[in-house]
Structures are given as structure tokens and as C-alpha cells.
Amino acid sequence: MSLFPTIAIVPARGGSKGLPGKNLRRLGGLPLVAHSVRFAQLCPEINRCVVSTDSEQIAHAAREAKGDVPFLRPSELSEDSTPMLSVVQHAIQNVEQLEGRHYEFVILLQPTSPFRLPEDVSRALEIIRHDSAAVGVVAVSTPSFNPRVVCVEEKQGYLDFAFEKKLYMRRQDAKPVYRINGMLYVWKRDYLIQTLPEHLYSEPHRILVVPEERAIDIDTLHDFQLAEAMLQAGMLHLPWSEDCRSEFETIEKS
């Protein structure tokens, strides 16, 4: 066990309206849920990775990837309206009860963001370990447009800027804006267990900036097809996938 015991939670419920069966869809030869399991296995800082699911099929796919599914998530925590925080809290509490011990850090790995890399976890943990004021680290990326400059709304029938009055004549002069991309979350365990969904970001969080091209969140068929096309074109890589392993090792040695 490392000096900073860390658990990763992979939430993968069976129901999905935007893309039915998305957690079992195969990308690069593996179901989406398996990518998060395989990813965690490449991260030396992660001491245990647990898949939280209500689906026997997803549990089977996770175990096929040598994932840990010690329990099935109850139906009341598997609704469309269930806060993700409640799912993570349930998983942590059940694992800790089974083990009779506590973790220090909790990592959320959503299967819909398969293009994270082990160095993302290393960087996020480094950030939170060296900032006593921060309770969490959230992965963000720079969108293709800056909403301070281009986002507008209709006001009394006319165009009006959605944010503050437009102060920037050039896009380059605007303050950077990031988007939470869902790729990676890290929290201090004690904070996460005690907080409520509506108060999750009430305490200080740091950001981890990752490239926008890796920040694909697969929620629709279009998202999946985009991820598949970029993977096949060699624009993105899945180093834990057998199909991509030799290519990744070549890149790492160069």
C-alpha cells in the first residue's frame, strides 16, 4: 500500500438514454467500461479500482478486464436523477467496510472519458498533495471558442452578449475559460464522504488542464463515432489496449 492510499471508482450503470448500452460498446476492441479498468491498472498510485454498476452484463465485462466488482449498486442509486456523488460515496463506504480501513484519496473514472493517460492521475495527485487548502482536483480543457467573446442571447428581441459587456476586440485578448470535461476527478476522502451534492464545489478545488482533443465525453452516438474515427486515424491512443500497446511502447521509447 502506498503512502497515500488511493481508490478509484468507475461508475457504470446499465441504463443510458443518450446512447443505449454505451458502457458495453466496444472501442478499440474493448468495452468502454474495460478501458477505465485497464487504465487504472497502469497507474501505480491507484491501490484499488472498483466498478460500481447495477448491471450483471457490465459487471461481467469489467471482470473480464480483471476489474473488481465486489457488489452490485442498488436500484435506488441507478436512476437518471441519481447524483454521481451519492454513487461514489456508496462505493467508498462499502469497500472500506469490507476492508476495515480508510483511503486518503478518491479518484472518479467515468467510462465515457476513455482517453485519459496515467500521467494525468500523477499530475492531479501531485497538485492535491501539495495544496492543503484544496479538497479536490478537476480535469478541464480549453474549448474551441471563448464564451466571453462569442456567446450571445436574445434580449427583448435583439442580440445581447450572454456574459459581461463585450470588452474584447480580439479573441486573443480575452481571459481564458475552461470547461469541466468529465475526464478525471480527485478528492480528499474525508471531504467527499461528508459533503452533499449541492455543496460539492463549495470548498476550494484546483484544476488540471488536459488537451481538448483528449477530452471526448461519449454520451451520444456522434461522440462515439468521433472517438472511434480519431482512434483509427491514430490521433488518439489507448495504451492499455492490446491493439495499441506496441505503438504506445514505441512512442514511449522514442
Q: pLDDT (tens digit, 9 = 90+) per residue, 151-200?
A: 899 999 999 888 876 666 666 778 889 999 999 999 999 999 999 999 99
Question: What pLDDT score does 123 carry?
Answer: 97
- Same domain membership, residue 211 and residue 99: yes
Q: What is the CATH number of the domain that holds 118?
A: 3.90.550.10
- Same domain membership, residue 202 and residue 163: no
pLDDT, mean of residues 93-98: 95
Question: What pLDDT score does 170 carry?
Answer: 67
Task: Answer whether residue 161 is part of any domain.
Answer: yes
pLDDT reading at 244 higher than 60: no
- Same domain membership, residue 212 and residue 113: yes
pLDDT reading at 252 higher than 80: no
- Same domain membership, residue 63 and residue 128: yes
pLDDT reading at 253 higher than 60: no
pTM of the model: 0.89
N residues, the chain: 254
Range of the domain at 232: 6-141+179-253
For the packed helices 32-41 and 56-64, what is the interaxial angle rounded to 10 degrees? 40
Q: How confident is the model at residue 149 (pLDDT cuts 50, 70, 90)?
A: confident
User: How many structural domains are present in the chain?
Assistant: 2
pLDDT, mean of residues 19-32: 93
- Same domain membership, residue 113 and residue 78: yes
Task: Answer whether residue 1 is part of any domain.
Answer: no
Place of cell 473480464: 64
- Same domain membership, residue 216 and residue 106: yes
How far apart are alpha carbons 63 and 84 in whole angstroms? 22
pLDDT, mean of residues 210-225: 95
Q: Look over the chain and give the mean of its residue pLDDT values, rounded to a whole number.
A: 90
The C-alpha R_g of the chain, in whole angstroms, comes to: 19
Question: What pLDDT score does 161 carry?
Answer: 87
Question: What pLDDT score does 25 carry?
Answer: 94
Q: And the C-alpha cell for 231? A: 482512434
- Same domain membership, residue 11 and residue 94: yes
Question: What pLDDT score does 167 carry?
Answer: 65
- Same domain membership, residue 160 and residue 243: no
- Same domain membership, residue 51 and residue 30: yes
- Same domain membership, residue 164 and residue 53: no
> Lowest mean pLDDT: which of 27-31, 161-165, 209-213?
161-165
- Same domain membership, residue 230 and residue 149: no
pLDDT reading at 30 higher than 70: yes
